[in-house]
Amino acid sequence: MESPLEYHDALALLEWQVELGADEAIAEAPVDRFLVSAEAVATQTAPTAPRVQQAAPAVAPKADLDPVAEARKAAARAHDLEALRAEMEGFGHCDLRHGARSFVFSDGTPAARLMIVGEAPGRDEDMQGKPFVGRAGQLLDRMFDAIGMGRDHPDAAQSLYITNILPWRPPQNRDPSPAEMAMMLPFVQRHIELAAPDVVVMMGNISCQGLLGQRGITRLRGTWQEVVGRPALPMFHPAYLLRQPAKKREAWADLLTLKAWLST
């Protein structure tokens, strides 16, 4: 019988593939090519041999579980941010986790008065395990710097706490499906409850869709909403502003609205 691939061999193979330029998962879930080719060999060499019956799965099949109800239970069990991080990291019902390199929970100052909820990690965030660290994240930092705020500012009134609707990068940065958003929403809502910011900023359409159940950021931006019992302001996503620099004027107006709100 073939010996199983050791962890370090598998890691070395993966790193070799990354060096060759294979830096993205292109399927929703990983495919075990060793299993596929072993099955092909078995089929060629013993076409009439009976197929070995797969052992019954140790856990109940996914179809029997309501992932949204499971997420609600897991989120409710968390009584602080570290516990929430652990519950989310251990949540096995969202297949995005299998294609992502990192679990991306949050960055910045948990005690900040302002909490930003973005969409989902992109390539850079998946590599570094932190939200908003790519080009859009750099623009986000510059935007808030312009009103005297930053992720790690020592004053809670000027610091930022940042998370996303999804903690795992969707393959090829596709939009999250409604099912993926619905099952991760109880965690984001609990995240807001536990961080207890004075104000929430929803960055872009996906964030508004998740937290408000509405899209249409052009109409929504700059209008005060309520999320988990807190005032919340939708804003254009910095990735959109990189593509549409003329929209920075409205983003600046929204930043000034936030600054005025925080100084009252």
Can you give the binding site for ligand URA, defined by CB under 6 A?
A: 118-122, 125, 131-132, 134, 136-137, 164, 203, 239
Q: Which is nearer to ligand URA, 87 or 141 (CB)?
A: 141
Query: Residues 200, 232: contact at Cβ < 8 Å?
Result: yes
Q: Residues in the chain, how many?
A: 264
Q: How far is the CB of 251 from ligand URA (least distance, A)?
A: 14
In angstroms, give the least distance from the CB of 239 to ligand URA: 6
CB of 125 to ligand URA, least distance (A): 4
Query: End-to-end CA distance of the chain, in Å?
Result: 71
Q: Which is nearer to ligand URA, 169 or 190 (CB)?
A: 169
CA distances from 114 to 32, 201, 218 (A): 43, 7, 22
Of 72 and 248, the one with the shorter C-beta distance to ligand URA is 248
Q: How far is the CB of 128 from ligand URA (least distance, A)?
A: 10
Nearer to ligand URA, 75 or 136 (CB): 136
Tokens 């019902």 sit at which residue?
A: 93
Q: Say if residues 131 and 107 touch (Cβ distance below 8 Å).
A: yes
Quote the CA–CA distance of 240 and 32 in Å, as a whole number: 37
